[in-house]
Amino acid sequence: MARLLEYQGKALFKRQGIPVPEGRLVQSVDEAMNAIDELGFPVAVKAQVLSGRRGKAGAIHFAEDRDSLSQAVRELLGKQIQGSPVEGLLIEEKAEVQKELYMAVTADPSTRQPVGIFSPKGGVDIEETADTEPAAIFTTPIDILRGFYYYDAMDLLRQVGGLESREMLTLANLFTRLYQVYREYDCKLAEINPIALVEQGAMALDARVDVDDDALSRQTTLDIDFAEEAGERAATLLEIAAATIDESDHRGTVHFVQTDPDASYARTAGKIPVGLDAVGAGTGLTIMDELVPLGYYPINFCDSSGNPVGSKFYRITKVIMAQPQIEGYLFVSCVSSQQLDNAARGLIKAFKELYPRTGGQPNIPCVVLFRGGWDDVAVDLFREHGISDGRWIKVLGRDTTEKETAEIFDALYREWKKETGGLQ
């Protein structure tokens, strides 16, 4: 999933005729001062990060004059909001809001079709509303072949109650435009929270647009970097680099996500950060389950599937090993039909380049487990290239379980730590 920043989402809304407050994206105090000459006070100063609940996180300020604007810009730029650095601010006219509402179109996996969602309780977390006040959420399934029309939106809004006729007409019009955004940009979610009723009608005060990453190849105008879904935060540079591996090569896939990009969670929990590559997502989860109780935390998840070519394994190994916090590495395959000798060649080439002085023998504890097609050849290749002779690597074959693999890694790590004292 590729999530757009608020200002990008609002640009799409504007293109479809959904009113948004007049605003400017700025990256410095000087730019903010120039923007205010066009916008005038008061303004909202909003950090452009992908995480939700920005209001609660202190990512939205209001400014009445140049001093308070300058202070807000200085305070927000460069700040970390829920792990994401603030690189841009949206400065926009502050709207005089009479009522805040919620409107969205999203995909409903249970019915395999889009669903329109409306709530009179806008401006708050919709998941929270769903829990505490389910009666305040109104939905309508949308037949994707038929489309979503003005009268469909009116049917939904009539159920809400408390809306004046004029408000319903305005909102129904916006609802159909929001559906157009959803369809035209291949969204998984197009959400306005809040949509504000103002004197001149209604406008989107926020925008959340999640684009289906399978459609990015045809959404070239959006100019967004593809990366695996990483929840509420923006993709890291390393995740973006990893996503390029599959970009022009359909032969197998490598899915890479940093579960703990700066290893802060691992450190706080008293765990040792390690890098992980798994052939098969289930094996990835199983080895995680075995490693965590022993005191290790994989700070990335990686699943190589569909019999990737050796070059993909080479590239993803370099990506995983680029994480500066890792104190160990594991490659674990399920009993797979993949041609594991190719996986081995990818790993061997990467190790030899990363550790040229030792001929590929790593300086941190590494455990490599081959189970499946050509696993015996894979094990032999590590031996032939002299990497298995390394002090801090164990190359295992198909008789080894995930539990045993984790235990072997644990023993190797303890020995490494005792003997070397760990990395400098």
- Segment near other proteins (CB under 8 A), from 5-13, 200-208, 297-305, 362-370? 362-370
Identify which of residues 251 and 403 has a Cβ nearer to other proteins in the complex. 251
Considering only residues 91, 224, 348, 367, which one is a binding residue for other proteins as defined by CB under 8 A?
348
Closest approach of Cβ 416 to other proteins, in Å?
Answer: 7
Identify which of residues 73 and 344 has a Cβ nearer to other proteins in the complex. 344
Closest approach of Cβ 238 to other proteins, in Å?
Answer: 5
Considering only residues 304, 342, 361, 405, which one is a binding residue for other proteins as defined by CB under 8 A?
342
Identify which of residues 180 and 317 has a Cβ nearer to other proteins in the complex. 317
Closest approach of Cβ 419 to other proteins, in Å?
Answer: 8
Identify which of residues 173 and 311 has a Cβ nearer to other proteins in the complex. 311
Interaction between residue 420 and other proteins (CB under 8 A): yes
- Segment near other proteins (CB under 8 A), from 21-29, 204-212, 283-291, 361-369? 361-369
Task: State the SS3 of the chain.
Answer: CEECCHHHHHHHHHHCCCCCCCEEEECCHHHHHHHHHHHCCCEEEEECCCCCCCCCCCCEEEECCHHHHHHHHHHHCCCEECCEECCCEEEEECCCCCEEEEEEEEEECCCCEEEEEEECCCCCCHHHHHHHCHHHCEEEECCCCCCCCHHHHHHHHHHHCCCCHHHHHHHHHHHHHHHHHHHHCCEEEEEEEEEEEECCEEEECCCEEEECHHHHHHCHHHCCCCCCCCCCCCCCHHHHHHHHHHCCCCCCEEEEEECCCCCHHHHHCCCEEEEEEEECHHHHHHHHHHHHHHCEEECEEEEEECCCCHHHHHHHHHHHHCCCCCCCEEEEECCECCCHHHHHHHHHHHHHHHCHHHCCCCCCCEEEECCECCHHHHHHHHHHCCCCCCCCEEEECCCCCHHHHHHHHHHHHHHHHHHHCCCC
User: Dihedral sign, CA of 159, 165, 169, 171?
Assistant: negative
Closest approach of Cβ 308 to other proteins, in Å?
Answer: 9
Which tokens belong to 169? Answer: 């007409």
- Segment near other proteins (CB under 8 A), from 4-12, 150-158, 167-175, 343-351? 343-351
Interaction between residue 345 and other proteins (CB under 8 A): yes
- Segment near other proteins (CB under 8 A), from 22-30, 88-96, 282-290, 379-387? 379-387
Bridge partner residues of 395 (DSSP) = 368
For other proteins, the binding residues in 384-403 under the rule CB under 8 A are 384-385
Considering only residues 321, 330, 367, 393, which one is a binding residue for other proteins as defined by CB under 8 A?
321
Cα–Cα distance for residue pair 403/422, rounded to 1 Å: 24
Closest approach of Cβ 375 to other proteins, in Å?
Answer: 13
For other proteins, the binding residues in 219-238 under the rule CB under 8 A are 237-238
Kindly tell me the burial class for residue 10, based on how many C-beta atoms sit within 10 Å of its own C-beta (0-12, 13-18, 19 or more): buried
Identify which of residues 188 and 349 has a Cβ nearer to other proteins in the complex. 349
Considering only residues 364, 378, 387, 396, which one is a binding residue for other proteins as defined by CB under 8 A?
364
Interaction between residue 422 and other proteins (CB under 8 A): yes
Per-residue x/- mask for other proteins, residues 294 to 313, rule CB under 8 A?
---------------xxxx-
Per-residue x/- mask for other proteins, residues 241 to 280, rule CB under 8 A?
x--xx-xxx-x-----------------------------
Cβ pair 304, 312 in contact under 8 A: yes
Identify which of residues 224 and 364 has a Cβ nearer to other proteins in the complex. 364
Chain residues binding other proteins by CB under 8 A are: 237-238, 240-241, 244-245, 247-249, 251, 309-312, 314-315, 318-319, 321-327, 339, 341-342, 345-346, 348-349, 354-355, 362-364, 374, 381, 384-385, 416, 420-424
